[in-house]
Chain A
Amino acid sequence: MDIRVNWIGFKTLVRKEILRVVRIWVQTIVPPAITMTLYFIIFGNLIGRRIGMMDGFDYMQYIAPGLIMMSVITNSYGNVVSSFFGAKFGKHVEEMIVSPMSNATIIVGHVAGGVMRGLMVGGLVTIIALGFTDLDVAHPLITFSMVILASTVFALLGFVNAVFANKFDDISIIPTFVLTPLTYLGGVFYSISLLPEFWQKVSLGNPILYMVNAFRYGILGVSDISIGWAYLIVAVFVVGLFALNLMLLNRGVGIRE
């Protein structure tokens, strides 16, 4: 592998992805900001005042980390799936496939683009959250590392979705029927200690629960699950999904006949 070719290729991909996000900011940045503002107003402010405290924090403070993580996850996923599927649909994926850039670089470049959008939107949602509540970051390193890792996992998942997608419907099915339910059931709005024991155990099978709780631990210092487990699970997902994507691209699934 030519390191120089791949490094410049990687930088080109990241630059292209960031410019794409900025160019269509009305589609990429504004909608999550509006949605999250509504969540803060309705769930945090109006309903939250009736709910009272959760795990020692007022409800607005409790849901803020989950909402930030939710926006990071959905935007990282959405960026990669729409960008790579768009490239397939418009056939300009061929620009990358014919080049000497390795498949690993194509994946990492798109994932980095997804993470960048996740962080841009996550940063904006954090600023919005600070307009509603105070957030003291208890463990900055855990907060930052977990947001990067979670964003990476969902960017990689978005890539898998894009590889298999043949039409635009295919890139909305997974977010609608899998990602959104798992996110809502992943402890964004509640502590799983509120659930019956059976559903607590079922919830432990949801990977988003670990990411949301580890991120919440980084900010508030409280979590429903072990932080060590959270890192282990997220790391396994990163490695496993990267290997899966690499195998798919090497075989040419969805891009080569």
Chain B
Amino acid sequence: MRALSIQNLTKIYANGTEALKGIDFNVESGDFYALLGPNGAGKTTAIGIMTSLVNKTSGTVEIFGHDIDTDLESAKACIGLVPQELNMNLFDSVLNIVVNQAGYYGIDRRTALQRAEKYLSELRLWDRKDDSARNLSGGMKRRLMIARALIHEPKLLILDEPTAGVDIEIRRSMWDFLRRTNEAGTTIILTTHYLEEAENLCRHVAIIDEGRIIEDAKMSEVLRKLQREIFVLSLRDPLTKAPTLPGFETSLRNDGELEVVLDAKDDLNSLFDVLTRAGISVVSLRNKANRLEELFMGLVEGKHQVSGGQGD
């Protein structure tokens, strides 16, 4: 069953901005799906249309088979939304915020209170349940929005940059929580600018740019398209100049670490063979940039260079 089906979706704002230029994509039930793109690409507009916060110009959107044009209330009942911007009454208590949201979804108060305890505890907010939301830290407010989105136990959870501005410890605990939520059967759509986050969590990725989908495939397939990767090697004996390694492009960083470029045809075994023959001992190795980030930059920047060239 498809959790989400979007066909030829367009959005032109009143000021004439064409935010979506006919996008199509499908999300299968149970998937963990990344919707990526630079700022202003159309991600939040697409999410706004799915959740009825934005009116579409044309196209169709179905949530678990419910068309938002003909069966909007059933479609809405399937979705939990964690928006990009804070959208809660900051003067209300943490508990009231989630329990009221449950009420809007037709969940009786007793059940809502039980679920509130469950989700606020899992997100480490139960101790703060009587506090006014304005007294929470930024990370706590983000977690509160996740608890609120889950209170009606939606089949589809949409997270629009849920970890923006959150410290690394909380971000990783949120990743664990989202993984568990997905494993329990909830389909998740995630937008984020932390591409490491998308690569770690998501099994499927779509990249949107200037209102068009420019990539839509399984994460593993997308990463396979990466033509080259740059590895940073820490060496046991620092070098004074970059060594010549047959078949590999190298450069020496200011901190004495060695950068080696691997093309898609190369593998790490052959690199280490060459390094061993050259007498270079490697202590550790890491990617210079996140793999998805490299691919993302290649796709988006490459497209902009092409369109820039056409405009000249």
Instruction: Spell out A's residues near B (CB within 8 Å).
Output: 1-2, 4-9, 11-13, 15-16, 19, 86-87, 90-92, 94-102, 252, 256-257
Contacts and interface: CB of A to CB of B under 8 A. Distances in A.
A92 to B, nearest CB: 5
Nearest to A7: B106
B101 interface: yes
Given A8-B103, A8-B107, A256-B53, A95 B88 contact: yes
Contact of A99 (B48, B89, B96, B101): B101
B87 interface: yes
A9 B76 CA distance: 14
B79 interface: yes
Nearest to B149: A98
Contacts of A256: 52-55
A95 B106 contact: no
Given A94-B83, A257-B13, A5 B53 contact: no
A90 B76 CA distance: 21
Given A8-B106, A94-B87, 12 more contacts: A6-B106, A9-B104, A90-B88, A91-B87, A92-B89, A94-B53, A97-B52, A97-B53, A99-B76, A99-B104, A100-B73, A101-B105
B37 to A, nearest CB: 19
Contact of A102 (B51, B73, B108): B73
Contacts of A15: 103
A2 B73 contact: yes
A8 B99 CA distance: 12
A12 B88 CA distance: 16
For the side of the interface on B, what is the size category?
Answer: 20 to 34
B103 A98 contact: no
B13 A5 contact: no
Contacts of B85: 91
Interface string B152-179: 0000000000000000000000000000
A16 B165 CA distance: 31
A112 to B, nearest CB: 14
A63 B212 CA distance: 66
B85 to A, nearest CB: 6
B105 A99 contact: yes
Contact of B76 (A86, A100, A252): A100
A95 B76 contact: no
A19 B73 CA distance: 27
A5 B106 contact: yes
Contacts of B55: 252, 256-257
Contacts of A96: 104
Contacts of A90: 87-90
B290 interface: no
A132 B89 CA distance: 41
B264 interface: no
Nearest to B87: A91
A5 B105 contact: yes
A8 B73 contact: no
B79 A98 contact: yes
B283 interface: no
A12 to B, nearest CB: 3
Contacts of A92: 87-89
A12 B77 CA distance: 17
B132 to A, nearest CB: 11
A95 B83 contact: no
A100 B74 contact: yes
Interface in B17-51: 48, 51
A19 B148 CA distance: 20
27 contacts: A2-B73, A2-B77, A2-B106, A6-B106, A7-B106, A9-B103, A9-B104, A9-B105, A11-B103, A12-B100, A12-B103, A13-B104, A16-B96, A90-B88, A90-B90, A92-B87, A94-B53, A94-B81, A94-B87, A95-B100, A95-B101, A96-B104, A98-B53, A99-B104, A99-B105, A101-B105, A257-B14
B278 interface: no
Interface in B160-219: none
A1 B73 contact: yes
B86 A98 contact: no
Contacts of A91: 85-87
A27 to B, nearest CB: 12
